[in-house]
Amino acid sequence: MSSMNEMVSRPEKEGRKITLVEALREALQEEMRRDERVILLGEDIGVSGGFGGAFTVTLGLAEEFGHHRVIDTPITEAGIAGVATGAALGGLRPVADVQYGDFLFLAMDQLANHAAKLRYMSGGKLRVPLVMRAPVGATTRGAQHAQSLEAFFMHVPGLKVACPSNPYDAKGLLKTAIRLDDPVIFFEHKLLYGSKGSRKEAGGIEVFGTVPQEEYLIPFGEAKVVRSGQAVTLVANLLMVHRAMQAAKNLAAAGIEAEVIDVRTLVPFDWSTLFESVSKTGKLVIVEEDNLTGGWGAEVAARTADRCIGYLQAPIRRVAAPDTPVPFAPIMENFYVPSVERIVTAVTDLM
């Protein structure tokens, strides 16, 4: 068995083109086969003839591993987080999920006051190796099923936060998360799940990634430069990576070469990759789906201003959602969520 230190992130090799849902399912399946301590907890994740959770990620796993390891829970997010925390303290490696990330607010005491703090409070004697999976993002389901919650959990010391934008990263990061000895909040954007073999979301985009057959891990704290450029740095996560990439293509047609960074994890954050890019381009635009005030982009802007002020040739710009709840009407949701056009405008205003 290879240790995590022996497994390193590496370029995508030849593999299969699969969706994010399929990549997540493979990660769970491989880790459950590798380590019998890995268990799954959640609502409707193992019901015979069911969907395999809200977005089919756990489809078929109960048939392979049994209901003693793929455990259907009542509708109680606080209970799910509490049981997962206790199971982790007891030596298991639970992967729990909520059907919508918004429901994590019901589990905040268990996650923020217990899971995140017990290792510190015990002087390192206790470990809480749990993963909490949570779908986020606006998908025409209204204000209580659409929020982007990354900043809330980025603010809680003791929690790690992952936010993959594609199948390759999703699998590698989830496998790493399961092997870590600290609690991880693992965010997945609903519009990136794909529709192949899964429940469709209105407005979803079909994101396929080349995922190798052989095992691989992606370390936390390593951002990825997904497009090189000299004129401006765009930094984004989840769905916004794809919109930033499209904006970069549009800008290139106008002679503006943007560099795009996919953060991959927010805690730990890869500051060195960001600062190196900004020192080269002299301009930074942060793109996030969260509300503008207090979003994770605010921290990125503050740290960049502190460390790169001598390189910045223009103000740091943030493209984010307005400070309102997510609207339900599709036309208003489209206005609310940062668009390619808004990213392009933010960049051209800087140039």
Domain contains 1: no
Residues 196 and 242 in one domain: no
Among residues 114, 145, 189, 242, the one annotated as catalytic is: 145
What is d(CA 171, CA 155) in angstroms, rounded to the nearest whole number? 25
Residues 270 and 175 in one domain: no
Residues 179 and 142 in one domain: yes
Q: What is the pLDDT of residue 206?
A: 74
Q: Which domain holds residue 313?
A: 224-350
What is d(CA 167, CA 23) in angstroms, rounded to the nearest whole number? 5
Dihedral angle over CA of 170, 172, 175, 180, nearest 10 = -100
* Catalytic residue list contains 145: yes
What share of the chain in percent tops pLDDT 70? 93
Confidence of residue 5 (pLDDT cuts 50, 70, 90): very low
Amino acid at 241: V
Sheet order of strands, 232-236 included: 224-227, 258-262, 232-236, 284-291, 317-321
What is d(CA 231, CA 258) in angstroms, rounded to the nearest whole number? 6
Amino acid at 339: S
Residues 180 and 37 in one domain: yes
Domain contains 7: no
What is d(CA 161, CA 317) in angstroms, rounded to the nearest whole number? 23
Residues 255 and 333 in one domain: yes
Residues 30 and 142 in one domain: yes
Question: What does DSSP say about strands 38-42 and 15-18: parallel, antiparallel, or unpaired?
Answer: unpaired
> pTM (2 decimals)?
0.93
Q: Is 47 exposed, middle or buried (0-12, 13-18, 19+ CB in 10 A)?
A: middle
Question: What is the rounded average pLDDT of the residues 310-338?
Answer: 97
Question: What is the rounded average pLDDT of the residues 133-160?
Answer: 96
Q: What is the pLDDT of residue 295?
A: 97
**CA distances for 20 relative to 72, 130, 136, 191, 338, angstroms:** 22, 21, 14, 10, 22
Residue reference for tokens 């800008």: 251
Contact assessment for residue 39 and residue 66, using Cβ atoms and an 8 Å cutoff? no
User: pLDDT (tens digit, 9 = 90+) per residue, 184-207?
Assistant: 999 999 999 975 544 566 666 778
What is d(CA 174, CA 184) in angstroms, rounded to the nearest whole number? 9
Residues 77 and 197 in one domain: yes
- Tell me which of 104-113, 141-150, 173-182, 200-209 is least confident: 200-209
Confidence of residue 302 (pLDDT cuts 50, 70, 90): very high
Q: What is the pLDDT of residue 198?
A: 47
Instruction: Give me 241's structure tokens.
Output: 């990576």
Domain contains 5: no
User: pLDDT (tens digit, 9 = 90+) per residue, 236-283?
Assistant: 999 999 999 999 999 999 999 999 999 999 999 999 999 999 999 999
Instruction: Give me 184's structure tokens.
Output: 């991880």
What is d(CA 273, CA 324) in angstroms, rounded to the nearest whole number? 32
